[in-house]
Amino acid sequence: MVVYFSLATFIGVVILSIVTFAATRNYLVNKATSSARDQAIANAQLVRTLVGANRVDAGEFVTDLRTQPGGYAVLHLGEENLFYAQAPLRFTQSNLPTTFVRDALAGVSGVQRVDFRGRPYEAVAIHVPAIDATYFEVFPIDDVADTLGTIRSTLVVAVLAITVVAGVLGFLFSGSVLVPLRRVTEAATTIAGGSLATRLEPEIDPDLQRLVASFNGMADAVQERIEREERFASDVSHELRSPITSLGAAVEVLKGRAEELSERNRQALDIIATQVRRFDRTVLDLLELSRLDARAGQDNQEELHLAALVERIASRHGYGSILVVSDLGSEDTVYLDRRRVERILLNLLDNARDHAGGASEILLSSDDDGNYLLIVDDNGPGIGVSERLRIFERFARGTGSRNSVGSGLGLAIVAEHALALGGRAYVDTSPSGGARFVVVIPARGTP
């Protein structure tokens, strides 16, 4: 027990130390390099002005530039294909990585960490198309490395000290505390996994029995509330289906006689029709989420070829013009419920249509763990990093889609179906700058 407690504490403290070190490192590096990058950008703007006015004296301009202490600057003029180094006897473009220079000359601005004479530097490349030039500037960051070395040593000592203290505490308390706490932990984990009926067994010790009674009472209250909310959402959705259907039928009748209405009334009718369709879609999504919450129905697993299935779904629902690209070859056989894949893909395509100008491409690939990846790229502006988790929550809508149609349930349904398949859903940035929605589908060789 002492060894287990010490090991668990050691692992936790190591993880915390790594996170602390990473956060501190990012802060120090960002702080140390932000001013230098700003200086590099300012120098590039100055070079654009000076060289644009007098290209012949470009070498003198570079020599007179003010860089960070210990830094160096290099300018390349594309038309003449010449490099001008601020300190040619100490640093030139030959001291930079070849690929970094090549990409910069091709028009790709960027930042890269480099080593020069045993010291760490950060190199900045800025393409200046206005004068057909590329500006390079490097600056040392070894002072940050020294500070990080001190922090690293301190954290190592702290980890060892805390582990020893944890071992002593584990020896003192393991016999009377850890066993019942482990039972509580296991029960809480099981409940969090969806088994709401899990309860703790009664204990002989009066103090532990009070803990068991409190935990079981809390679990009863949580289960009752969750089940009540699920029933409420399901009942409300079912009750709304009939009036919505009637409203839809009435709207269709009115639309059939729209020519008899005035222009203003026709506009009002269009608004009503749009909102009824939106209401109907919201109710259907709520019903589906209720079924997912209740885990109603069994998966009808069958052997499928993922690429062919995706192409049929897209074509059947009016998205046949979207390019489907697969690098799975003949290794795309999966055993799963095609209905879940259809709901995932259709919701992603509808989301791209409603909020991002439509989907640009559907990709099928695999990751390093052998899982299949279903990817939908769209034509929108992308999703901010701060919103990438929240948009999969129910009724959550991204900043760019708050004035669009939809209920904010489509991506929540995608996430639930992905979870039911044993995978997950997340969003990234596509190469074109839009949003890239990725659904991870575990590969299963047998039904």
Average pLDDT per block of 10 residues along the chain, 447 residues long: 76 83 78 76 88 86 84 90 90 91 90 86 90 90 77 83 78 67 78 72 77 82 72 63 71 74 78 72 65 60 85 89 85 81 88 86 87 90 84 73 64 84 88 89 65
The region, left, alpha or beta by phi > 0 then psi within -120 to 50, assigned to residue 202 is: beta
Phi, psi of 228 (to 5 degrees): -65, -40
Instruction: Please tell me the distance from the alpha carbon of residue 351 to that of residue 339, in angstroms, as a whole number.
Output: 18
3-state secondary structure of 144: helix
How much is the pTM? 0.45
Residues forming beta bridges with residue 127, ordered by sequence position: 134
Domain boundaries, the chain: 2-145, 207-294, 301-441
- Tell me which DSSP letter residue 175 carries: I
Six-digit token string for 123: 């190199």
Phi, psi of 160 (to 5 degrees): -65, -40
Residue 323: in which H helix or E strand, if any? strand 323-326
Of 268, 252, 275, the residue nearest 407 (C-alpha)? 275
Cα 186 versus chain centre, distance: 29
Residues forming beta bridges with residue 85, ordered by sequence position: 74
Structure confidence at residue 376 (pLDDT) = 92
User: Which residues have a Cβ under 8 Å from the Cβ of 406 and sit 6 or more positions away?
Assistant: 278, 281, 351, 354, 355, 397
Burial of 396 (0-12, 13-18, 19+ CB in 10 A): middle
Residue 326 · residue 307 · CB < 8 Å: yes
User: Which residues have a Cβ under 8 Å from the Cβ of 347 and sit 6 or more positions away?
Assistant: 410, 411, 413, 414
- Tell me which DSSP letter residue 407 carries: -
Which CATH number does 207-294 carry?
A: 1.10.287.130
Residue 159 · residue 13 · CB < 8 Å: yes
| Strand ranges, E, within 117-206 | 119-128, 133-140
Instruction: Please tell me the distance from the alpha carbon of residue 392 to that of residue 416, in angstroms, as a whole number.
Output: 9
Instruction: Please tell me the distance from the alpha carbon of residue 140 to that of residue 71, in angstroms, as a whole number.
Output: 6
Which CATH number does 2-145 carry?
A: 3.30.450.20
Structure confidence at residue 446 (pLDDT) = 44
- What topology is assigned to 301-441 in CATH? Heat Shock Protein 90 (3.30.565)
Residue 83 · residue 104 · CB < 8 Å: no
The region, left, alpha or beta by phi > 0 then psi within -120 to 50, assigned to residue 253 is: alpha
